[in-house]
Amino acid sequence: MAYAMRTLWFLSLLIGLACCHVSSQQQCSYLANVNITASDAAPPKFVVTPRDCCDLCGTTSGCVAAVYSNYYCHLKTSFSEQVSSQGSLAIITGSPTTISSAPTTSPPPPSTTEAPLPVVTVIRETTCQTSSVCNRLYDFTCVTNAFVSGVCRGDNIRTCNAAGTNVTVTSFQYSGCDGAPVNAVVEPVVSCEFLSGSYFALTCDVEQVPATNVSLNRTSCPNGCGQGSGCTTTSFFTGVCGATNKPEGYYTIPWCYPDFVVYNYFMTTDCSGAVVFSVSEPIGAGLCFESSDQQNEIENVCG
Ligand SMILES: *[C@@H]1O[C@H](CO)[C@@H](O)[C@H](O)[C@H]1NC(C)=O
Ligand SMILES: *[C@@H]1O[C@H](CO)[C@@H](O)[C@H](O)[C@H]1NC(C)=O
Ligand SMILES: *[C@@H]1O[C@H](CO)[C@@H](O)[C@H](O)[C@H]1NC(C)=O
Ligand SMILES: *[C@@H]1O[C@H](CO)[C@@H](O)[C@H](O)[C@H]1NC(C)=O
């Protein structure tokens, strides 16, 4: 009897857990660098993660979408209008197909597993001659190479450890990283330090997967940032091969992250094949920096 009771108690505990886990599990899709202009349905609330913002919307009556920005969750009763906004994360409850179609009678099935936010770890290596904070805005000599953690570039793969405190560079005999690794070197992450004659920074940044097809303009002006005549603008769309725009003579796929832009350069006109090299630059209106030949002021604006 006691055994049966215990079994029942245990079973009900299991059922209880299953029940509550599922019901509190709001399914959301996330749109990086998107704001929703509908007015807030409630005062914004401080939350720790976009996932918390999704759950908060799921448990708030009338909430269908939210915007997560600077740790604040803005609840919305409408999912329009969606506008580009660097650093904002639009959160749409339910599955995307439900939103775009006419009102449906059956809600999407609740998901039983936590849908992780799509993230990417970007590794950046910056070398500067004079800036002791390794900041391109103050030093035209700063060059930042960007990599995606775990992805082969040439004959090596750079990978950040889970804590984001060091980077392992695994080298292979041939380009494409096939076969057995021949060497692995672990380098510590450093914010900016003087090493063999120049300043060097190595960072691991975990970022939300950036949005595609967002307008990005790289404007170069000889008379100072945004100053009148002589400016030339190269227009890109994020994630789209810029076959007609070839800074440095290469075909380019750019990506906008909240704090930097990454330009990936390719040899082929359709950007197929390997990334030849990849640089990161400052992003944002008014965040102007000198070109490496000191002839122009450059500004990257995304959104
Ligand atoms: C998002 O849009 C709202 C409404 O237009 C605006 O008040 C808010 O400042 C925007 N947020 C950001 C981070 O741009
Ligand atoms: C990587 O970083 C961690 C934490 O800072 C450190 O404990 C560990 O020793 C490092 N690994 C190597 C192989 O240097
Ligand atoms: C990208 O955006 C442009 C203009 O905003 C639009 O004309 C085009 O259809 C979009 N392409 C895709 C694949 O979404
Ligand atoms: C980029 O320039 C194009 C053409 O001038 C313009 O339509 C677009 O709005 C600009 N995009 C941004 C993000 O400023």
Residue-wise DSSP of 213-280: S-EEEEEEETTSTT-STT-EEEEEETTS-BTT--GGGSEEEEEE-SS-EEEEEESSTT--S---EEEE
State which ligand 4 atom lies nearest to the alpha carbon of 84: 13
Quick one: DSSP state of residue 129?
Answer: S
Mean pLDDT along residues 209-223:
92
Q: Are the C-beta atoms of 89 and 30 separated by less than 8 Å?
A: yes
Are residues 300 and 233 located together in one domain of the fold? Answer: yes
Q: Give the model's pLDDT for residue 67.
A: 92
Q: Pick the more confident residue, 229 or 134.
A: 134
Asked if pLDDT for residue 109 goes beyond 90, the answer is no
Residue 16 lies in a domain: no
Residue 102 lies in a domain: no
Q: Which of 189, 209, 229 delimits the end of a domain?
A: 209
Mean pLDDT along residues 238-254:
74
Q: What is the pTM of this model?
A: 0.63
Are residues 133 and 89 located together in one domain of the fold? Answer: no
Q: Is 33 in the pocket of ligand 1 (CB under 6 A)?
A: no
Q: Is 4 in the pocket of ligand 2 (CB under 6 A)?
A: no
The number of distinct structural domains making up the chain is 3
**Cα-to-centroid distance, 213 and ligand 3 (Å):** 6
Of 237, 238, 256, the one to substitute when testing ligand 3's pocket (max ligand atoms within 8 A of C-beta) is: 237
**CATH assignment at residue 52:** 3.50.4.10
Residue 198 lies in a domain: yes
Q: Report whether the peptide linkage leading into residue 81 is cis, meaning its omega lies within 30 degrees of zero.
A: yes
**Cα-to-centroid distance, 63 and ligand 2 (Å):** 44
Are residues 131 and 204 located together in one domain of the fold? Answer: yes
Q: Which of 183, 209, 235 delimits the end of a domain?
A: 209
- Least confident window among 132-146, 186-200, 238-252, 262-276: 238-252
Q: Residue 143: how many CB atoms within 10 A of its CB?
A: 17
**Cα-to-centroid distance, 272 and ligand 4 (Å):** 26
Q: Which of 161, 183, 209 delimits the end of a domain?
A: 209
Split at pLDDT 50, 70, 90, the class of 244 is low
Question: What would the two tokens of residue 261 be?
Answer: 């832009």
Mean pLDDT along residues 23-49:
80
Residue 247 lies in a domain: yes
Q: Which domain holds residue 29?
A: 25-97
Question: What would the two tokens of residue 114 be?
Answer: 């936590």
